[in-house]
Amino acid sequence: MRSVIFDLDGTLADTSGDLIAAANAAFGALDLPVRLDPARDAGTALRGGRAMLRLGLSRLEPDGAGTADGAGAADGTATGDEALIDRGYPILLQAYGDQIARHTVLYPGAVAAVEALRGAGYAVGICTNKPEGLAEALLTELGVRDLFASLIGADTLAMRKPDPEPLREAVRRAGGDPARSLLVGDSVTDRRTAEAAGVPCVLVTFGPSGDDMAALAPEALLEDFADLPAVVGRLIG
């Protein structure tokens, strides 16, 4: 069976607002005088909790005072405090789980595209680096969990994207053949995952990092979910 597997954050849904709120809650709990901005930092939010914490810590002055303009090394090397990130991460996860869909919205046309693929006989699933329990909760809260025959999260298996095995397992659990599948995503991680699995990759351009997707040379770029069924048909039949 032909299969289409989706990334979640930044691909099917804009989760950045709730992720940033959770990161800011963690900074507050740690008494750190820094906050991320929902608009400016959306791209980092979609790279995960630790990336957000690292970005926030990079904006602290050496004496612990937050910078006024948000300047700082984007990789967090200004502090290098991985122990502090380890402390903040479970706080962030708890805060996120408590308010997982306050600001999150599905991208326009996402549901219609998934339904069209299912109607055309494709198996449809999700492969995300969000923890499985949080992904399950979010999809349920958004009312779309039943659209997906499989869900593989960051902690479902012993490995995560860009290792190809989570993608292959998402295909298998959806009832498909890994050799006749493709991945729809929004990041270099998704591009590398598909490449490692030897399957086509479609990268969306409507997320915060959309302008960077062409440089990753995917098999297709997607500007509008309405075009996805035709793109899938061209790539895997």
In a shared domain, residues 134 and 81: no
Note whether 202 and 213 are within 8 A (CB).
no
In a shared domain, residues 174 and 186: yes
Residue with tokens 């219609």: 112
Domain count, the chain: 2
In a shared domain, residues 91 and 8: no
pLDDT at 81: 83
DSSP string, 58-107: HTB-TTSPBPSS--S-TTSTTT--HHHHHHHHHHHHHHHHHTTTSS-EEP
pLDDT at 79: 41
Q: Which of 173, 236, 228, 226 is nearest to 200 (CA)?
A: 236
pLDDT at 109: 98
pLDDT at 69: 38
CATH of the domain at 201: 3.40.50.1000
Domain boundary among 74, 98, 122: 98
Low-confidence ranges of the chain (pLDDT < 50): 67-79
The Cα–Cα gap between 128 and 33 comes to 31
Q: 3 forms bridges with which residues in the sheet?
A: 123, 181
In a shared domain, residues 230 and 152: yes
In a shared domain, residues 120 and 50: no
In a shared domain, residues 36 and 138: no
Could you tell me the two tokens for 32?
């750190």
In a shared domain, residues 44 and 119: no
Residue type (1 letter), 100 = I
In a shared domain, residues 88 and 110: no
Catalytic residue among 7, 9, 41, 190: 7
Q: Name the residue range of residue 149's domain.
A: 3-15+104-236
User: Is 7 tagged catalytic?
Assistant: yes
In a shared domain, residues 204 and 128: yes
